[in-house]
Chain A
Amino acid sequence: MADDKDVLRDVWFGRIPTCFTLNPDEVTEREAEAYYLLLPRVSYLPVVTDKVKKHFLKVMRPEDVEEMWFEYEGTPLKWHYPIGVLFDLHASNTVLPWNITVHFKNFPDQDLLHCPSNSIVEAHFMSSIKEADSLKHKSQVVNDMQKKDHKQLWMGLQNDKFDQFWAMNRKLMEYPTEDGGFRYIPFRIYQTLSDRPFIQKLFRPVSPDCNAHTLGDLLKEMYPDALTNDGEQKRYQVLIHGIEPLLETPLQWLSEHLSHPDNFLHICVVPVPTD
C-alpha cells in the first residue's frame, strides 16, 4: 500500500525542536549561548550532537571538559535510548522547544552508560537489531546478511539516508506468508513511575486461533494498568513516535511500520497531563 510507505517516511523524518543550554555550574571563559537543533526522533544523542559539543567547547578550557552528558529537569538522559523515546517519556506534554542541559563534568556513572565514541553507539544499535531478529526470525535473516549489509544499516541511520537504510531493513521486515507475521514481536514498554526501566517479554503477533493481536492485546497482557476500563477516566497515554495509535491497530502492522531503525517497537506509557 502506498500509504504504508508514507508512514515509514513520516517516522524516519520526525524531528524534535530542541534548545541546548550549558549547565550554569560549568566553568566558562565567557557566556555560553544556547544552541538550537532539530533532533531526529529515530537517532541517538551522541550521533547528532557533534555541533552542540563544538559550540560549547568554544567557551571552555580543555581542562574543564570531560565526557559530555545531557540532562532534562534533573534526569540524566540515557543516550542509548532513541531520542524520540526520551522525549515522549520525559517531556511529551511540555511546551516546545525541548530544553536540554549540557554537562561536561561529574558524569553520573551510576545512571548512564559511557559513550567514548560513535562505535559504541553502533555496537548498541547493531546489538538491538540482532536481538530483534532473534525474536522475529531466530536470527536467520540477520545472520545471512554480510558485514557490509550490517554496515549499511548503521551508515543509513548515522547519515540520515532513508533509502540506503530501508534497502537493507526491508529484509528484516519480511516473514513467511503462511506464518501471518513474525515469530515474536520485538517491543519495549517504558513507564515513568517504575524502577524497572522497561517491560520486554515474548509476545506473538498472531493468536493460536489465527487472530491478529492488537496493541490493546499487548498492553492487556504486559501492562494492564495502561488501559482505561469502561466508565473510568483515562489515566495514561500510550505513545509511539509521539502519537497515540488506536488500540485496535494490529501489532504486526505496528512492528513493520512504527518500529525504530533498531527494529524495536518502543512504547511509552505516560500519565495524562492534568492541566
Chain B
Amino acid sequence: MWFSVCVSLILSDMSCSVLDEQQFRQGCQLLLQRSDQLGDGWSWEAVQGSEEGYLRKTARRSVPSDWGPLHDQEGFSFHPQTLCDSTGHEKEEQDPAASTGSDFLSAEEQDDGSYTVTDSSSRVVQYEYHILFSCSYGAPVLYFRAFTLEGKSLALEEMWSTIHPNYRLRLQNCPLSAISQQEHPLLGQPFFFLHPCRTEEFMGLVLQAVQDQGRPVNYVLSWLSVVGPVVGLDVPLQYCTPLHSAVSLNSTKPD
C-alpha cells in the first residue's frame, strides 16, 4: 500500500522543488511507516482532529564538552546579514562529518573491553524534534529544543556548543539559515529552528541529482537527511532501502 503512495510522490511534479501540504503529509506518512519498522521513534501529532499536524521525536545525545563555544564566538551575538544576497553562493560543499584527525567522542577502553564515554569529557542532552510544514516557503521546517537531564532547557549559546564545530562555521556564514529562537506556530512555545528560506535552493539540487538517476524520492526524507545531522538528528541509511525494493516491485506489479 505504501509504495503506491510512493509512486504518487514520484509522478507528482517534483521538477519544482516546492512542496504543497498534501505532499508534505504523504512524505511524513512514508517516513513514519519506515520509522515504525526501524523503531526510530517518530510519531505524528495531529492538530485537534484535523489533517494538520507534525512529526515528533525525542532523542538523547552525548555531546563532547570540549566542543564548547568556538574561540571566535566570544561574545556571540546575532548579526543578521538580513538576507543572503541572491548572488551569494554557498561555499564548496564538504562533508563536515569527515573531520580530519579529531574524534567526535573521547572514549576510554574499560577493563572488560567495553568503551564508555567519560563523564568529564561529555554531557547528555535530551532533544525534542518537530517537523512542521511552512506554507509560506512550501517546505518542511525543523523545530527543536533541548534539555539537560535535570530538565533545564538549553539557551541559544548552549545549543550552539552542541553543534559540531564544522557545521557551526558554515551556519555562521549565512545567519538566516542558521539556528535561531522562534515561536512554535502550533504550540506557541519557544523553540529553536532552522530557517527555511534556503530549503528550496538546496532541495532543488538534491531533487535534480536524484531525478537524473531516475530514482524515486521522498522529499521530506531527503530534506531531513540534509538538515537533521546539523542538529544531531541522525537519519539511518536503512530509511532508503525500501524505496529501492519498491522500484523493483513496481516493474512486476500493476498499480
Contact = CB atoms under 8 A, between A and B. Distances in A.
B is bound to A: yes
B205 interface: no
Interface stretch (B97-105, B183-191, B232-240): B183-191
Given A109-B153, A114-B181, A144-B86, A196 B188 contact: yes
Interface residues of B, number: 31
Contacts of A127: 176, 195
A197 B188 contact: yes
A265 to B, nearest CB: 14
Interface stretch (B76-84, B123-131, B163-171, B206-214): B76-84
Contacts, number: 84
B82 A150 contact: yes
A151 B137 CA distance: 23
Q: Tell me the dominant secondary structure on chain B's binding face.
A: loop
Interface in A98-113: 109-113
Given A131-B137, A135-B136, A198 B185 contact: yes
A122 B80 contact: yes
Contacts of A186: 136
A177 interface: no
For this complex, into which size category does the number of interface residues on chain A fall?
Answer: 35 or more
Interface in B169-224: 175-176, 180-190, 195, 197
A195 B45 CA distance: 15
A200 B35 CA distance: 29
B153 A195 contact: no
Contacts of A96: none
A257 interface: no
20 contacts: A111-B190, A113-B182, A113-B183, A113-B190, A114-B155, A119-B80, A126-B82, A130-B197, A134-B136, A134-B197, A135-B136, A145-B83, A147-B81, A147-B83, A147-B85, A150-B82, A195-B188, A196-B47, A200-B185, A201-B135
Given A117-B77, A123-B78, A197-B187, 8 more contacts: A114-B181, A116-B77, A119-B80, A127-B195, A130-B197, A134-B136, A150-B82, A197-B188
Interface of B: 47, 77-83, 85-86, 135-137, 153, 155-156, 175-176, 180-190, 195, 197
What are the nearest 8 A-B pairs in CB distance?
Answer: A150-B82, A197-B188, A123-B80, A143-B86, A113-B181, A131-B136, A126-B82, A202-B135
